[in-house]
Amino acid sequence: MKERLLLLFKLHKIDRELQELYALRGDIPEKIEGLIAQKDKMENDYNSMQEQLEEINRIEEQSNEENEKLLKKMEKNDEILRSGTVKSNKEYDALAREIEDAKSKIDENERSMKEEHSDKKQDLAFHIGGLKVQLDEIREDIEINQNELNELTRQTREEEAELKSQREELLPKVSPEDMETYNRINDSRYGEAMALVRKGSCLGCYSSIPPQRVIEIKMANRLFHCESCGRILMAEELLSRT
């Protein structure tokens, strides 16, 4: 059991050193993550507005093409009416009706472009321009923070790699049961799964431990947990014996 405890404490020591390295990075990783989430949302909004604007432009282009065809048809029908080649009132009325229908359709298309599309196009263009400025700013922020994080990571890369290597070498020696207990407490105690016992107190939460329990912890015949904080306890004296 003493060997099991010492293995867990070695793992605990490595994890604490890794946590200290990660702490040097401060809140930069979380900040980058938040900025990327904002950027992704802005890009989605930007792309959606661009698609809406493109759709309006497509509809207007179709309307303009339709108006041009209708104008040509009106001019052609008007020429026929003026040429005096129309042979009957029925034919004359049909041509005049086509001209009137074409004129009504042109007016409808132009009214739609003016009343329905014009304001929406201006609104979309305004918001797209604003989003573009914000996206440029947020991308610059991401780049600045990423460069800072890369520099901090570069400074600690070798030490981090060595610690991770030691951890990987140690893991197969720890029993699955002990590993499960360690990970469960480590997760709930923010990387502080173990605590030494010194002068009858848990150095994790500084709670007093009954004298009889201190003796049992020193004997190290099984795992003991602090009744206050739940950490795995190990007598400090065990370290001096190794």
pLDDT of 242: 54
Sheet holding 224-225, edge to edge: 201-202, 194-198, 232-235, 224-225
Domains of the chain: 24-173 (1.10.287), 176-240 (no CATH)
What are the beta bridge partners of residue 195? Answer: 233
Spatial contact of 14 and 166, defined as CB atoms under 8 Å apart? yes
pLDDT of 37: 97
Q: What is the dihedral of CA 156, 159, 165, 171, to 10 degrees?
A: -90
Spatial contact of 232 and 224, defined as CB atoms under 8 Å apart? yes
Question: Alpha helices, DSSP H only, in the chain?
Answer: 2-23, 28-83, 89-111, 118-170, 176-188, 211-219, 237-240
Spatial contact of 225 and 233, defined as CB atoms under 8 Å apart? yes
pLDDT by position in tens, the chain (length 242) = 889 999 999 999 999 999 999 888 889 999 999 999 999 999 999 999 999 999 999 988 999 999 999 999 999 988 988 888 888 889 888 989 999 999 999 998 888 888 778 888 889 999 999 999 999 999 999 999 999 999 998 989 999 999 999 999 999 999 999 999 999 999 887 779 999 999 999 999 999 999 999 999 999 999 999 999 999 999 999 987 65
pLDDT of 116: 78
Question: In one letter, which amino acid is 150?
Answer: N
Determine the Cα–Cα distance for residues 213 and 11; give it in Å rounded to an integer. Answer: 24
Burial class (CB in 10 A: 0-12, 13-18, 19+), 38: middle
pLDDT of 203: 95
Determine the Cα–Cα distance for residues 173 and 163; give it in Å rounded to an integer. Answer: 16
pLDDT of 82: 86
